[in-house]
Amino acid sequence: MSKRKATTNLASTASTVDFKKLTVPLLKQECQQRQLEITGKKAELIKRLQDYESGAVIKKEEEDVDDETEQKELTMKEKLKKLAEEEKKNQKGPKRFKVDTECPYYHGAQIVDDYDCMLNQTNIGANNNKFYIIQLFSIGTNYWVWTRWGRVGDSGQNALKGPTSLDAAKKEFEKKFRDKTKNKWEDRANFKPASGKYTMIEIDTGADSQDIAEMENKLTTLDDVDGPSSSKKSKQTSPCTLDKETQDLIKLIFDNDMFKEAMANFDIDVKKMPLGKLSKAQIAKGFEVLEELEEVIKKNARNTTAMNNLTSKFFTLIPHNFGRKRPPTINGLEILQKKMEMLMVLGDIEVAQSLQKGPVKTENGDVPHPLDANYGLLNCGLTLVDKKSETYKIIDTYVQNTKYGSTLLEVWEVDRDGEDKRFDEHKDIEHRKLLWHGTNVAVVVAILKSGLRIMPHSGGRVGRGIYFASEHSKSAAYVGSSRDGTGIMFLNEVALGKQHIIHQDDSSLRAAPKGSDSVLAQGCREPDPSKEVTIQMDGNDVIVPQGKPISNDLDYTSFHQSEYLVYKESQCRIRYLLKFKMH
């Protein structure tokens, strides 16, 4: 077999740096400045840099970005801003606030008007990561001002002033707010962060603690319709219409403990940003700071002052619990991308929580079973695939021959509302493939509701697109499982069309190069193409890999396993949801 060589374009300039004389940290800095991978041993880093400078790397062709597509496909930041504006516009009645649960008068006390604020301050240089709560509440005709402060993650110290008059309590509250933030309480709508002071954290007060508790107890207080406690259910509650496997799936993807665990895994302080109170506007602000950080890192990776300041600003906006450890500086594209992904997960959790707010009734006025209600919120059909069917056997073969350390439990056919019509825009693209996409279990609700989304920035190895793989093990690496090791993955029909093949990272890509429909980051190996089968899906031929991975026999590629990229959200359709036990 003759070797296939990567197409090359000569770099326009060549470096005079002798990479062999540099230490590993300096080599990594040189890679970072060129937006190359920074992993590997010294010899690998040197070769990567030499290849880049000699021109042995695919350069992105000049391309025309589809302006219409750019306008249609909003980033998560833009979507959150839009949703926040809509919620503010549609808000009915006054906001509701709850007294801090650490306050001795938690039960029976009421917040006066909106005299309630949560402040946060992170300063990496001084190892500060602290919070400050100020509340004015009443019991009868008496008024108190409650304050609590300390390091994020700790209960901290507290003080209670009162009882006193309303005027005196307001003056005390406003003075404390001004002292801590350098802002006037009456001007809080135009809050301006001040150096060395606390920043106001915006939370969603649309649901109070009681609402959230009710939401969390929805599924735990009602067993399955055939369960031993079914007789305890209200007569007005309809029996569950879902099969047992789908019931378990809906429980999993709407589980509040799972959402909390996902947040805790990101070091998010769930006391500051509790479920049901995540602010869309606050998360959007976090995206804006990360975008500033991305610019700084790309322009000058040695500008530690700017990176420390922006990192402090980010952790102030999005409270993290680092315990007594110094908050880490966001000083590279890899850690930046992880924080971007974290905000994506937070945004998706917010979507899932928002969906569950508000009463739902059936046509006859009965209250639907909570599992049916949550299933209905998805606007998505999920049909369990028979394990004896030919479809299941093909999928199982795909799994077994490309997996690593996981067990397939169930498969559902997915029919997202409206996705068929959107996907039909690409009916003329003939080359199609069923490909893997792994994700965090906490974002499954949002994906089923809204579809797979373009990443909000260009930090990925192959730019700003939707990533797929032909090997289960590649996508499984991106799965965030539940506490018991249950993970969710998707198989997607992807309209690949004419592929632009690359063998070197290119994080600047925002669209397939002119004349191409998709990008293939070709890896060292690929499932044996001679074993592929073709199935019919809505009249189209779709290729499904069935073989074990074999070598691609390339001279050089920076990718171990192949990745497939499309840069339009409409260019893929979710076909199957798969539930795994991850090992």
H or E segment at 543?
strand 540-544
| Spatial CB neighbours of 573, under 8 Å, sequence gap ≥ 6 | 416, 419, 420, 423, 492, 493
Pairing outcome for strands 142-151 and 157-164? antiparallel
CA–CA dist 490, 441 (Å, integer): 11
Strands (E) located in 427-523? 432-438, 466-469, 486-495, 499-502, 518-521
Instruction: Tell me if 399 sits within 8 A of 470, measured CB to CB.
Output: no
CA–CA dist 122, 318 (Å, integer): 10
CA–CA dist 84, 92 (Å, integer): 14
Transcribe 433-447 into DSSP letters.
Answer: EEEEEE-BGGGHHHH
Catalytic residue selected from 172, 341, 419, 563: 563
The number of beta carbons lying within 10 Å of the beta carbon of residue 537 is: 13
CA–CA dist 142, 562 (Å, integer): 67
* The two three-digit tokens of residue 338, written as one number: 């992880």
Task: Assess whether 563 carries a catalytic annotation.
Answer: yes
Please name the amino acid found at residue 292. E
H or E segment at 50?
helix 42-54
Measure Cα distances from 460 to 50, 140, 308 in Å: 22, 57, 23
CA–CA dist 573, 450 (Å, integer): 12
Beta bridge partners of 493: 434, 573
Beta bridge partners of 383: 413
Q: What is the DSSP letter of 56?
A: B
Max Cα distance, the chain (Å): 89
CA–CA dist 399, 403 (Å, integer): 5
Residue 142's SS3 state is strand
**Which residues form the catalytic set?**
563
